[in-house]
Amino acid sequence: MAILGKRLKKARENAGYTQMEAAKKLGVSNGTLSGYERNYRDPDTEILNEMADLYDVSVEWLMGRTENPNRSDEEEFQAFASNPKLNHFFRDVAASEEQDQEELRQIWEIIKQRKKSK
């Protein structure tokens, strides 16, 4: 599974984080993150998912199961819906009127396009 460490490092660097910054955001020590990136240790599934979210890549790509680092629509939705910080927001949106939901979709598309152009 040597590919995991290489891809974790590549994803972190592509996301613009130093090892120390990423470790802090993930709530792990710098040594632990270094161990993941050098294939000395394997992250548990929770940390692996958090790293994929932080680096905006798919778990499948990190694990070497695909060459496409982008998350599928289903993966993006699951990451959104299962995030406790956003769970209340998800419920509010689901209960909103259709016109409000459509406006929110349009705003989100603008945000996604802005992110892609960076």
Can you say whether the dihedral through the CA atoms of 110, 111, 112, 114 is positive or negative? positive
Would you state the pLDDT for residue 62? Answer: 92
Mean pLDDT taken over the chain: 86
- Which tops the pLDDT comparison, 36 or 87? 36
Has residue 27 got a pLDDT over 80? yes
pLDDT over 60 at 1, yes or no: no
CATH class of 2-62: mainly alpha
pLDDT digits (tens, 9 = 90+) for 36-82: 999 999 999 999 999 998 998 988 889 888 776 776 667 667 766 77
So what's the pLDDT on residue 73? 64
Which one is predicted more confidently, 115 or 48?
Answer: 48
What DSSP string runs through 68-107?
--SPPHHHHHHHHHT-HHHHHHHHHHHTS-HHHHHHHHHH
